[in-house]
Amino acid sequence: EETTVEADLIVSAIGQLGDLEGVEEYGNERGFIDADKFYQVPGKEGHFVAGDIIRPHLLTTAIGHGSIAAETIHEYINQEKMDKRPKVDKHHFDLLENLDQVGRLPSNYDDTKTDDLRGTDTLGFAVHNYDDRSEHEIVASSELFLGHFEHEDRVARNHKLVNVDNVLGNFDERLIGYTAEEAQQEAGRCMSCGLCFECDNCVMYCPQDAVFKVKKDESTLGRYVDTDYDKCIGCHICADVCPTGYIQMGLGSD
């Protein structure tokens, strides 16, 4: 079904160079627009830019640019300090933020205490069974329990070949996209590396019954299981049977 959408300006996104007609002052010598680490145009406060006009690249790259630019525009409008972007600019799941949303932030830590607090599972300042993976995105295959997964062949994408006779003026996609069914099949191969998908292996295989499911009224996204450290003997079985490498032992590994 075709629909008509009213627009004040339509920018044609075809070609390898930017069309800067009317905004020539923003362009650089390469026919694109420069951007700083916040995707703001240098020397043009309050003007933000993203996508191929910075550097022609993948669609996902342009989407990432737009996401970062949207965050910094929000900070700019609200007169907030624009935070320095991390070296690997990705969005990470933040358990503390989710705990805050459900009113379960940990209590403040009292640094005047002199007791040995290692392994505590009762004090409110500690967040258990959570590892911030933002510093190490890649989970090695050696950390996975591959026996949990059945082998599934990759759904390969087809290519449309061009030759010297039809390459000029040919703007057809070279990589043929998945059908909806193929996309779902390929997405189903994801093993959620480094994330907990509630398989309950750790709960079932713990010989000490030290690992248990968090009560529903205390759980939130990303926090499904907890550990009773009075029962835990550091046997590593929970880590060994974790399919995704989510569980990492903090004691007894050396």
Helix (H, G, I), strand (E, B) or coil at 63: helix
Average pLDDT per block of 10 residues along the chain, 254 residues long: 82 71 87 89 92 84 86 90 64 69 79 64 67 58 85 87 83 86 90 83 94 82 79 90 84 45
Q: What is the pLDDT of residue 252?
A: 44
Q: What is the pLDDT of residue 253?
A: 42
Q: What is the pLDDT of residue 42?
A: 92
The residues spanned by each domain of the chain are 1-91, 107-149+191-254, 151-190
Please name the residues in contact with 20: beta carbons below 8 A apart, sequence gap of 6 or more: 26, 27, 31, 33
Task: Write out pLDDT tens, residues 113-130.
Answer: 656 666 566 677 777 655
pTM of the model: 0.47
Q: What is the DSSP-derived secondary structure letter of residue 186?
A: H
Angstrom distance (rounded) from CA 62 to CA 52: 7
Q: What is the pLDDT of residue 162?
A: 84
Q: What is the pLDDT of residue 119?
A: 56
Fold of the domain spanning 107-149+191-254: Alpha-Beta Plaits (3.30.70)
Q: What is the pLDDT of residue 152?
A: 86
Q: What is the pLDDT of residue 48?
A: 93
